[in-house]
Amino acid sequence: MRILFVTSEAFPLIKTGGLADVSGSLPAALRALNADVRILIPGYPAVLKNLVNLEPLCSIENLPVVGRAELRIGNMPDTGVPVIAIDCPTLYERDSGPYINSLGFDWEDNPIRFGVLSKVAATLSATGSPVKDWMPDIVHCNDWQSGLTPAYMKLSHPTTAKSVLSIHNLAFQGCYDASMVERLSLPRSSFQVNGLEYYGQLSFLKGGVFYADALTTVSPTYAEEIQTAEYGFGMQGLLDLRGHEIKGILNGIDTNEWNPETDPHLAKNYSDTSISGKKAVKAALQKQFGLQIDANAPLLGVVSRLTYQKGLDLFVETIPSLITKGAQIAVLGSGEAELENSFKALAAQYPSQVAVTIGYNEPLSHQIMSGVDMFIMPSRFEPCGLNQLYGLRYGTPSVVTQTGGLADSITDTNTLTLADGTATGFKMTEVTTHALSVAISLGLAYYQDAKTWRKIQRNAMNIDISWKHSAQSYLDLYTTVLAN
Ligand code: ADP
Ligand code: GLC
């Protein structure tokens, strides 16, 4: 089976969040199951620089605004997965992030940049594709950035290939002025409720939701949640209509990249049977962060985008009382200025107990996931969430809300789950500061009981969170879609 996996970010080439982790690891897992996968991604400077064996593939004509772009093909540096990069400097050769400029604002031509990504994907799947010797059977799109691909495939690029759209986060919908429909060479007639129109605007994501042959999201619980007004961000009606078709497949993780036994970023490696190295990682982290070096002080960690979604404003409110209980806090993240400032103020107030790094730092993210005792993730919504999965693998139990992938991947600790060996973390009963305090306090109480804590860590580390099962679920879905 040939699969074109269309994405706007992929680790280790370029990453802003979990989509990059998934795009870096799922295609490799599909390849291990004998699928013939190619990734399609914009040729940002970091992509063109880091791909190996890069060579010209073909030119693509008739693209909106830019006319023509060159496609290059290479391989992922670590997994060897083939990657097609769209080499179009006008659109992608920019400093700063893939979506925002150095001032933190969206690039204003994002609809063109990702409209072109979507159109190139459709062109490569169409009967007249310039790449004759590799036609995909499945075009797997991800989030709004490639959401127009299924629309192009249905409206202007006839193909026998089928499209699958994975929703990683419904909060980002790619909404733009209606005039974009024509600028992106989409038929005017498609701008209607049964098409691309969404509350008077063009929505890339709605285009995908409406035209894709199959829809998935990144956890079973989120698949249910997005059909409700609370989590549907206005799209619940359409999603509800397609309800039975939305398959929730829980993300896996790259078990090579996230492996406490071999992780090169850790002061000491360790495993579920010999976990003492985790203490050395904690001590190194305390030292690096200028925290008091104390093996017994419970250390709580955060690695996150600092946005409303992540609920970390609730954590900020609990920190003063945690400090009085002798806890330490290590935070790595960036995002909304107000949250960044709140964390920085706490670090200034309690320098030996709270450490905060604002920014993006891949090695430090591994050190925190491993070196802290508990990971804090009070998300208001979380389609899947990867850090709690990394926490499982590193023997770092998480405190989480009961939403999306957090609900599906963490089992609350209580007498029953301790007895049957399933306890792996702590679940808040609601999304409030009080509920977070209660869940953390419970965690701290268990932490004092070394034997039970070790049991929870062992339960967590023994869960198979590799892509093996989920990649097979995607293959099964592709097979079903092709058969229909
Ligand atoms: P989301 O994609 O919503 O941000 P996920 O939990 O799915 O949330 O994935 C976040 C990914 O980004 C994880 O791999 C996490 O370690 C990483 N990450 C988030 N913030 C930072 C940061 N400041 N530095 C390094 N890695 C980060
Ligand atoms: C999104 C979601 C996150 C998910 C990630 C990868 O960024 O916010 O929950 O883990 O996509 O699917």
Per-residue model confidence (pLDDT) at position 86: 98
Ligand 2 in reach of 169 Cβ (< 6 A): yes
Domain 277-461 architecture: 3-Layer(aba) Sandwich (3.40)
161: three-class secondary structure by DSSP: coil
CA of 68 from ligand 1 middle (Å) equals: 34
Ligand 2 in reach of 400 Cβ (< 6 A): no
Judged by its nearest atom, the ligand closest to the C-alpha of residue 404 is 2
Tell me the mean pLDDT in the region 56-72.
97
What are the structure tokens assigned to 384, written together?
């899947």
Domain 2-252+467-483 belongs in CATH node 3.40.1440.10: no
268 within 8 A of 274, measured Cβ to Cβ: no
Judged by its nearest atom, the ligand closest to the C-alpha of residue 22 is 2
31 band by pLDDT with thresholds 50, 70 and 90:
very high
Per-residue model confidence (pLDDT) at position 244: 80
Residue nearest atom 24 in ligand 1 by C-alpha distance = 360
CA distances from 59 to 62, 86, 129 (A): 10, 9, 10
Nearest atom (ligand 2) to Cα of 379: 9
Ligand 2 in reach of 251 Cβ (< 6 A): yes
Per-residue model confidence (pLDDT) at position 469: 96
CA of 143 from ligand 2 middle (Å) equals: 10
Closest CA to 7 of 151, 131, 154, 147: 147
Which of 9, 19, 308 maximizes ligand 2 atoms within 8 Å of its Cβ, making it the mutation to test the pocket?
Answer: 19
| Residue 243 pLDDT greater than 80, yes or no | no
Which of 217, 251, 386, 388 maximizes ligand 1 atoms within 8 Å of its Cβ, making it the mutation to test the pocket?
Answer: 386
Q: How many other CB atoms are there within 10 angstroms of residue 240's CB atom?
A: 15
103 band by pLDDT with thresholds 50, 70 and 90:
confident
CA gap 248, 131 in Å, rounded:
32
Residue nearest atom 9 in ligand 1 by C-alpha distance = 18
Non-local CB neighbours of 154 within 8 Å, separated by 6+ positions: 211
Ligand 1 in reach of 363 Cβ (< 6 A): no
291 band by pLDDT with thresholds 50, 70 and 90:
very high
Per-residue model confidence (pLDDT) at position 245: 87
Amino acid at 209: V
Per-residue model confidence (pLDDT) at position 242: 87
Ligand 2 in reach of 9 Cβ (< 6 A): no
| Residue 281 pLDDT greater than 80, yes or no | yes
Nearest atom (ligand 1) to Cα of 19: 2
Tell me the mean pLDDT in the region 324-331.
97
pTM summary value:
0.97
H or E segment and range at residue 53: strand 52-63
Closest CA to 413 of 403, 404, 400: 400
Residue nearest atom 12 in ligand 1 by C-alpha distance = 17
Strand residue runs (E) in 246-308: 246-248, 299-306
CA of 437 from ligand 1 middle (Å) equals: 23
Per-residue model confidence (pLDDT) at position 418: 98
Ligand 2 in reach of 384 Cβ (< 6 A): yes
Chain position carrying tokens 């992030």: 97
Residue nearest atom 7 in ligand 2 by C-alpha distance = 18
Per-residue model confidence (pLDDT) at position 96: 83
Ligand 1 in reach of 45 Cβ (< 6 A): no
Judged by its nearest atom, the ligand closest to the C-alpha of residue 226 is 2
Q: Per residue in 380-437, pLDDT tens?
A: 999 999 999 999 999 999 999 999 999 999 999 999 999 999 999 999 999 999 999 9
112 within 8 A of 184, measured Cβ to Cβ: yes
CA distances from 38 to 88, 155, 319, 373 (A): 19, 24, 45, 39
Q: Per residue in 425-477, pLDDT tens?
A: 999 999 999 999 999 999 999 999 999 999 999 999 999 999 999 999 999 99
Ligand 2 in reach of 386 Cβ (< 6 A): yes
Q: Per residue in 346-369, pLDDT tens?
A: 999 999 999 999 999 999 999 999
Ligand 2 in reach of 383 Cβ (< 6 A): yes
Ligand 2 in reach of 329 Cβ (< 6 A): no
Per-residue model confidence (pLDDT) at position 95: 86
CATH 3.40.50.2000 in the chain, residues? 2-252+467-483, 277-461
Report the sign of the C-alpha dihedral through residues 105, 343, 283, 373, in that order. Answer: negative
Q: Per residue in 138-183, pLDDT tens?
A: 999 999 999 999 999 999 999 999 999 999 999 999 999 999 999 9
Nearest atom (ligand 2) to Cα of 21: 6
